Homo-oligomer: A and B are copies of this chain.
Amino acid sequence: MSNRMHLAQRIQDLQPSAIRELLKHSKMPGVISLAGGIPSADLFDKEGLALATQSVVESRFNDAFQYGLTEGNSALREQLVGLCRQRGIETQSDRLLITSGSQQALDLLIRALADEGDVFVVERPTYLATLQILGLTGATVKSVGSDEHGMIVDELEELLQTTRIKCVYVVPTFGNPSGTTLSGERREKLVRLAAEHSFMIIEDDPYGEIAFTDRREKPLLQVATGMGCEEHVAYTSTFSKILAPGLRVGWIILPEWMKQKVAIIKQATDLHANAFAQSLVSAYLSLDRLAPQIALIRDAYQQKCLRLSQLLTEELGEHLTFNQPEGGMFLWATFREARDTTAWLQRTLEKGVVYVPGEFFFSDNPDRRTLRFSYATATDEQLVEAVSRLKAAL
């Protein structure tokens, strides 16, 4: 119990970086973590990753160990053109830049776009690490609300009446932390506003493939291409949630006008993404195992999501409300009663269960009754026990 108390102590002065510290401790013996956005290692394609690794050593040795191109491994970029096509996005390999995960994609894009005083707009709530990146720049962050259909684009339109906006950051599909998906109508309106008011959209899509239904919305980049204004969207995605996060391989599709600037920043930042990992992902894609692997993850996460939803409804339905996610890794809940979830975390930790308090996903006006659960790593037994512990902490 002393470890837990130590951690509990630290939660008293919880800051976003302390949240990550918390995630580090999520494997603490006895504590069930519904906190981190961490994929389940049990689902990793061990055989496929081992085969791909072997293929790198045997037939891609120099690509893997020598310096590479700043934009990334050429074979991988060609393969990604095909993968993006399956998502509805038509692009060319020279528009792609391989990054060290989508976290770096966001850092590069924001550094390329943000000048002192520029206004960046995020959803309320939004991905907290993006708020961290924005905090390191001189940009001004404004937010618009969201509901079960994602960002409320009408609010953005209203903001545009008074404010010149440089960029809108959005996770449109199975959002983090909200779990919601931006509706087709709002997607079209968002892109139209970008063209009319000359702002950029950063479309962050790490979870789009992890869909529990057949319903799919078009990526914003596809919508923009259809409307002839694709220069207003930078699309980013990653292999972290569908293959393995330790590889740190993500990518950006850049509008023509941003290519050179982002490449220069990438060069200065770390020359190029890990050559070995890029070769490994390229070799893996050649094995044609990604589609069945995604299907496996999708089914497993859907089961876990349904289970957690059911348990929360049954055990905590009087206290908590939430939207049923249609994909991704997160369930976003709100207390019906007044309750500060940051303060409550200390009590749930004493009972042996952790989540991420909602306030850290807000750039302003936090709703302190909110919290984010991730269902990706817990087993069925752990989900049952976790909800029971949450109930005991009320």
Give A contacts to B, CB under 8 Å: 17, 20, 24, 36, 38-39, 41, 44, 46, 49-50, 53-54, 56-57, 61-70, 99-101, 103-104, 107, 111, 129, 132-133, 135-136, 240, 244-248, 260, 263-265, 267-277, 280
Q: Which 5 A-B pairs have the closest CB atoms?
A: A246-B275, A65-B244, A100-B270, A104-B270, A274-B274
Residue ID in chain B nearest A64 by CB atoms = B246
Minimum CB–CB distance from A138 to chain B (whole Å) comes to 9
Sample of 14 A–B contacts (CB below 8 Å): A20-B70, A36-B67, A44-B65, A66-B244, A100-B270, A104-B270, A132-B264, A135-B268, A136-B265, A247-B275, A247-B276, A248-B273, A248-B274, A274-B277
B66/A246 in contact, CB under 8 A: yes
- A104 lies within 8 A of B57 (CB): no
Contact A103 B271 (CB under 8 A): yes
B274 contacts A100, C-beta separation under 8 Å: yes
| Partner among B20, B62, B132, B248 whose Cβ is within 8 Å of the Cβ of A41 | B62
B66–A38 contact, CB under 8 A?
Answer: yes
Interchain nearest-CB distance for A63 vs B (Å)? 7
In the complex, which of the residues B104, B260, B276 contacts A280, with contact meaning CB atoms closer than 8 Å? B276
A134's nearest neighbour on chain B, judged by CB, is B268
Which residues on the B side are within 8 Å of A17 (C-beta)? Answer: 260, 263-264, 267
Give 7 A-B pairs besides A44-B65, A67-B240 with Cβ atoms closer than 8 angstroms: A53-B53, A68-B246, A100-B100, A132-B267, A132-B268, A269-B269, A274-B274
- Chain B: CB-nearest residue to A279: B246
Q: Is the CB of B57 within 8 A of A136?
A: no
Q: Contact: B53 with A57, CB < 8 Å?
A: yes
State the CA gap A61–B44 with chains docked (Å): 10
Q: Which residue of B lies closest to A107 (CB)?
A: B269
**Which residues on B sit within 8 Å (CB–CB) of A54?**
57
Given the contacts A57-B49, A69-B24, A103 and B244 also touching, CB distance less than 8 Å: no
The one of B56, B101, B132 that contacts A270, using a Cβ cutoff of 8 Å: B101
Partner of A38, one of B56, B64, B67, B260: B67
Distance between A28 CB and nearest chain B CB, rounded to angstroms: 14
Contact of A268 among B49, B50, B133 (CB under 8 A): B133
Min Cβ gap A101→B in Å is: 6
A50 CB, min distance to chain B CBs, angstroms: 5
Contact indicator A247/B65 (Cβ below 8 Å): yes
Cβ-closest chain B residue relative to A15: B264
- Whether B132 pairs with A67 at a CB distance below 8 angstroms is no
